[in-house]
Amino acid sequence: MRCRAGFIHKAMLVCLFAVLAVSAFAQAGTGLIPFHRQEVQTALATGDIASLQNEIYRNLQDRGGWVVTWTHVYDRATVIYWNNYEIHEHQYQGNHPAQLTRELVTSNTSGNWQNYQRLTPAYSNPSIFWQYSSYTIEVWQSNQWLNYYRTLYQYHQNDTYNTITGQMWQSNAWQNYTLSTYYYSGNNISHLISQSWQSNGWVNSVRTEYVYDGQNRISQMVFSYWNNNAWQPSSRMVYSYNADDTYNVILTQVWNASGGNYTDSSRATYVYSQGFNSQVIYEAFTNNAWQYSSRMLYFRDASYNTTESIQQNYSSGWTDYSRRVMQYEFWDVANEDECSVAGPLRMRLYPNPARELATLLINSAKSGTGKAEIYNLKGEKCGSQDIDAKADRETAIRLDTAHLPAGIYLVRASVGGQQQTLRMLKLK
């Protein structure tokens, strides 16, 4: 079993990342060694994941170098993506394209693909695809899956977080490990209390306070730690924004107990090109002056996919330290993302990706009225359009997408008790 720093944090974040990866509409990258498409499709159709992994590994052996490749193979219930180190197989609910039911991670160890992690979420409300009741992580050891870590979620009536409890699997039982409790002022989180399980009870650990500006954006996150039965100031992060609400600078300050004030420690400055982050510059406050420490450079293709990221360190000038090059292939085996052909309600969406306008074509088995709605990946409704469909006749619905930020959305149509959902990529 591999245990490393950040394992739990990484595993808890992987589900959100998975939702984004599933909907990354990418153009075929140049210079890729092509996969044998028929073999991959056969592996998907038969469920022979071992054959698919072997095909992936043969392709990776031929590539080498710095290149990390994200290749998305779509089926109606399964999505698989991989890089040089891990393969992720995602299974989704048939009635909701963004509701993960299981993720299986296999790892490349000395040229052999072996089981590594299995992540299984459960949902408190099946109609809200992101609202977990639990999230369980298992690890592969001695040729079997063993419980490792899980999180338990509780919500308020308005679907906001109440508590998140982390538990470790020890002595053949789940043992409490961490507890996060959320407090609110109106609809905003006012503060978060983190506690650890010690001597059969919860003990305070860290408190995070949230401060908002006049536009309801987070302006500060203030951190305190529990010491001598009282909260002691530790540090804070101060946020500034551009006119379009993107980050400008995130300033980190630490508490100076002797002076009774916060002093500058580090800052990150965000630079944008065509509305997308092109670099982040990191500085440290040393000898009463800001000194460059490192920066990240991001490069994108015409579809705004990140094609390369470069980390540079500063010492009398910028020098390359590491880079990641990403090339993309996109195979839509079931044509799921632009056309839904199953059931009495059939839909097509074009163009996809969209910019200012998209057209939803609906063909219903029966007449009826309904709604076409656009949701972001947080489950928030971003737009709605009435539908008046006639049986066995194609109906065109114009969707205004100009006001939407660039990103991934779900387009859901409901007509006469029938419902279908498609994914849509919105470009800047």
**DSSP string computed for 144-209:** EEEEEEEEEEEE-TTS-EEEEEEEEEETTEEEEEEEEEEEEETTEEEEEEEEEEETTEEEEEEEEE
Q: Is the pLDDT of residue 113 over 70?
A: yes
Does 327 lie in the same domain as 360? no
The 10s digit of each residue's pLDDT in 142-176 is 999 999 999 999 998 877 889 999 999 999 999 99
The residue among 379 and 105 whose pLDDT is bigger is 105
Rounded average pLDDT over 68-77: 39
**Would you state the pLDDT for residue 8?**
31
**Would you state the pLDDT for residue 175?**
96
d(C-alpha 102, C-alpha 385), whole Å: 33
Q: Is the pLDDT of residue 256 over 60?
A: yes
Mapped onto helix, strand or coil, the DSSP state of residue 46 is helix
Provide the pairing of β-strand 318-332 with 339-340.
Answer: unpaired
Report the range out of 2-6, 232-236, 241-245 with the highest average pLDDT.
Answer: 232-236
Domain membership flag for residue 101: yes
Does 103 lie in the same domain as 15? yes
**Would you state the pLDDT for residue 35?**
34
Is this structure's pTM higher than 0.95? no
Mapped onto helix, strand or coil, the DSSP state of residue 10 is helix
**Would you state the pLDDT for residue 418?**
75
**Would you state the pLDDT for residue 305?**
66
**Distance from the first to the final alpha carbon of the chain:** 43
CATH of the domain at 407: 2.60.40.2550
Q: Is the pLDDT of residue 285 over 80?
A: yes
Q: Is the pLDDT of residue 279 over 80?
A: yes
Going by pLDDT thresholds of 50, 70 and 90, the confidence category of residue 258 is very high
Does 75 lie in the same domain as 1? yes
d(C-alpha 301, C-alpha 90), whole Å: 26
Does 328 lie in the same domain as 388? no
Answer whether 119's CB lies under 8 Å from 102's CB. Answer: yes
Rounded average pLDDT over 200-229: 94
Does 385 lie in the same domain as 328? no
Going by pLDDT thresholds of 50, 70 and 90, the confidence category of residue 129 is low
d(C-alpha 424, C-alpha 350), whole Å: 9
Q: Given phi > 0 = left and psi -120 to 50 = alpha, else beta, which region is 287?
A: left
Going by pLDDT thresholds of 50, 70 and 90, the confidence category of residue 105 is confident
Answer whether 78's CB lies under 8 Å from 90's CB. Answer: yes
Does 112 lie in the same domain as 37? yes
Q: Which residues contact residue 158 at a Cβ distance below 8 angstroms, ignoring those fewer than 6 apart?
A: 187
Does 34 lie in the same domain as 51? yes
The 10s digit of each residue's pLDDT in 19-63 is 222 222 222 222 223 333 344 444 444 444 444 444 444 444 333
Does 110 lie in the same domain as 32? yes
**Would you state the pLDDT for residue 30?**
26
Q: Is the pLDDT of residue 288 over 80?
A: yes
Domain membership flag for residue 343: yes
> How far does Cα 250 stand from its chain's mean position?
21
Does 48 lie in the same domain as 11? yes
Does 397 lie in the same domain as 331? no
Does 106 lie in the same domain as 45? yes
Q: Is the pLDDT of residue 5 over 60?
A: no
Domain membership flag for residue 32: yes
- Domains identified in the chain, total number: 2
Q: Is the pLDDT of residue 107 over 60?
A: yes
Q: Is the pLDDT of residue 108 over 90?
A: no
Domain membership flag for residue 62: yes
The 10s digit of each residue's pLDDT in 336-376 is 334 444 445 777 777 777 777 888 888 777 788 888 888 87
Domain membership flag for residue 215: no
Which of the listed residues 314, 335, 356 is the one where a domain comes to its end?
Answer: 335
d(C-alpha 337, C-alpha 44), whole Å: 17
Domain membership flag for residue 241: no
Q: Which domain holds residue 408?
A: 337-426
Tokens (6 digits) for 10:
């990484």
**Would you state the pLDDT for residue 289?**
97
Rounded average pLDDT over 120-136: 81
Which of the listed residues 335, 362, 383 is the one where a domain comes to its end?
Answer: 335
The residue among 243 and 35 whose pLDDT is bigger is 243
Burial profile 321-340: b = 16 or more Cβ within 10 angstroms, e = fewer = eeeebbbbbbeeeeebbbbb
Does 123 lie in the same domain as 62? yes
The 10s digit of each residue's pLDDT in 294-321 is 999 988 776 566 778 888 999 999 998 8
Beta strands (DSSP E) in 213-288 are 218-227, 230-241, 247-256, 261-273, 276-286
